[in-house]
Chain A
Amino acid sequence: MSHTVLVCDDAIFMRTMITDILAQAGFEVVGEAETGTQAVEKYRQLKPDLVTMDIVMPDMGGIDAVREIVKQDPDAKILMCSAMGQQALVVEAIQAGAKDFVVKPFQPSRVLEAVQRVLG
């Protein structure tokens, strides 16, 4: 059975690209979220094997969403998607419970390597 993924990013463009990269590699994207609040709700509903999480989103940001999700499920596997220059925020996200990160602009091979690391 393929691994299920929840893709969280406020840009449709980024969600589409991440979904394509993962789908082509055989993952099943079961849901998308465009705010941190939606990410937390959808995680609760869908219980995906993996979450990809943007940092800057309206409503609730990605780091707060990681905190909320890890509170629900300490074993949640969350991969942060950061922009260049966001090192401090990535460290904060890892401390909040995210497992790893990839930096935009994405290269499909980097995304898939990170996903494999997170899924262990």
Chain B
Amino acid sequence: MDLSQYAELFLAESREHLSACNQLLLEWERNRASPEPVSGLFRAVHTIKGMAATMGYGRVADLAHRMENLLDHLRRSGRAPADEIVQLLFRATDALEKAVGLAVAGRERDADLARALPGAGFVGASSRAP
């Protein structure tokens, strides 16, 4: 199956979800007690993960998966997130956006993901994320 025919669709839809992530993070920053932003963030990142894995963009899928684990942990805890967590998610969203662009341009290896979500493997260590 020639996956390249789906690259533009992947890029457009990922960008839509990433833009939604930034909006949701702003909303969450303003209203930390609200449960809606984290659910929306989880769905958006989960969708990007599935699409990236399908395209064979392993590093994008891996970062999205780590974000998803962290969000799943936060969603289940039901607690208001600390400032550092929201900032971490803003940075991770930014890194994911760059990685998506690089992957579609055939330069996924150039994406610097190691520092995109430090400690998230520990914070969201559960692998229960769907």
Contacts and interface: CB of A to CB of B under 8 A. Distances in A.
A11 interface: yes
B107 to A, nearest CB: 20
Chain A binding site: helix, strand, loop or mixed by DSSP?
A: loop
B50 A85 contact: no
Interface residues of B, number: 20
A72 interface: no
Contacts of B54: 13-14, 17, 104-106
A13 B6 contact: yes
Nearest to A87: B130
A17 B43 CA distance: 19
A104 B129 contact: no
A62 B46 CA distance: 14
Q: Which of B10, B13, B54 has the most CB of A within 10 A?
A: B54
Contacts of A78: none
Contacts of A88: 128
Nearest to A86: B130
B120 to A, nearest CB: 16
A60 interface: no
A115 interface: no
A104 B53 contact: yes
A81 to B, nearest CB: 9
Interface residues of A, number: 24
Given A13-B10, A17-B6, A83 B43 contact: no
A83 B130 CA distance: 7
A31 interface: no
A21 B5 CA distance: 13
A30 interface: no
B1 interface: yes
Contact of A11 (B1, B50, B56, B127): B50
Interface of B: 1, 6, 9-10, 13, 40, 43, 46-47, 49-51, 53-56, 127-130
Query: Which 3 A/B pairs are nearest by Cβ-Cβ distance?
Result: A105-B54, A105-B53, A86-B130
Given A58-B43, A83-B53, 17 more contacts: A10-B47, A13-B54, A16-B6, A17-B54, A21-B1, A56-B43, A56-B46, A56-B130, A83-B49, A83-B50, A85-B129, A86-B130, A104-B50, A104-B54, A105-B54, A105-B55, A105-B56
